[in-house]
Amino acid sequence: MEIGLACSWRAEPGRPLRAAIEEAAAAAERSGLASLWAVGDRQQIGEGSHDGVLGLLVAARATTRLRLGLSGDAVTARSVPVRAKQLATLDWFSGGRLAYGLDPAEPAAPLRSHLSEDDGSGDAVAKAVDHLAAMHALWTESRARVDTGHVTIRGAIALPKPAGGAGLPIHLRDVPDDRALGAYVDAAPRLAGWLAWKQDAGAVETASARFDRLLEQRGRDAASVRRTWFVDAADWPGARETARDLGLDEVVAVFPRVPRAEEVEGLGA
């Protein structure tokens, strides 16, 4: 089982944020951690965190192996071409280390007002699926063409492409809405992971089994999908053993700010 780190891009007073991120990322790689995740859009708004992609770009410059992840992107919150280019650029600069985590929950009102215009175009799930399909086309097609109810792209040349040439690996944050979760599964050509965000152990076990059934119904291979559990850093020691018992692939300690090197090194001990 692997160990990861997640945090808001906020530093302690008097501590420069860029230096703090570089220090934490280097310590994570040095200590043998598998991943470093930015908090999702909902957490960024609630906690006043800096932009997830830009923080991960700083971490990419300080590391060579560490997997870098967005833990909960609201796919409809930004322009499709702009977000596709941002993510492809981060993946390209990091040498193909980006894990793209999506939050299938409909963005709450504060997130919509901060990040996007609510165009009143109807089904939020259908709109999100169209946005994801359009980004995948921009990542993989030489001249992307998309024509859906929410996105129209005609022969767009989008560069750079993600490093692997096959789009980004998609990780879905668990939500209780099976319709939304299932729609995202259907729309994710490279479904790579499932993320449980700060659920208790019983809820994680139940939700993981529910996700298995959802994948089976769609003919997807559940064994190929990573299971990652995000827990508060204070709860991490006990969660580490529980995660092993649950057969999870990774447990991630979540900090409310960028941790110091000694805090990061304690995770790898």
pLDDT digits (tens, 9 = 90+) for 48-71: 899 999 999 999 999 999 999 999
Average pLDDT value for residue range 181-208: 95
Q: How buried is 258 (Cβ within 10 angstroms: 0-12 exposed, 13-18 middle, 19+ buried)? A: buried
Asked if the structure places residue 209 within a domain, the reply is yes
What values do phi and psi take at 233, rounded to 5? -55, -35
How many domains, in total, are found in the chain? 1
Asked if the structure places residue 140 within a domain, the reply is no
For residue 214, the domain's CATH number is 3.20.20.30
Half-sphere exposure of residue 184: CA atoms within 13 angstroms, side-chain side:
30
- Residue 167 CA from chain centroid, whole number: 14
Q: Residue 269: what pLDDT?
A: 61
- Domain containing 98: what range? 2-118+170-267
- 66-124 pLDDT, tens per residue? 999 999 999 988 899 999 999 999 999 999 999 999 999 866 555 555 444 444 445 88
Q: How buried is 175 (Cβ within 10 angstroms: 0-12 exposed, 13-18 middle, 19+ buried)? A: middle
Asked if the structure places residue 15 within a domain, the reply is yes
Cβ atoms within 10 Å of 143's Cβ, excluding its own: 11
Asked if the structure places residue 136 within a domain, the reply is no
Asked if the structure places residue 200 within a domain, the reply is yes
Q: Residue 107: what pLDDT?
A: 60
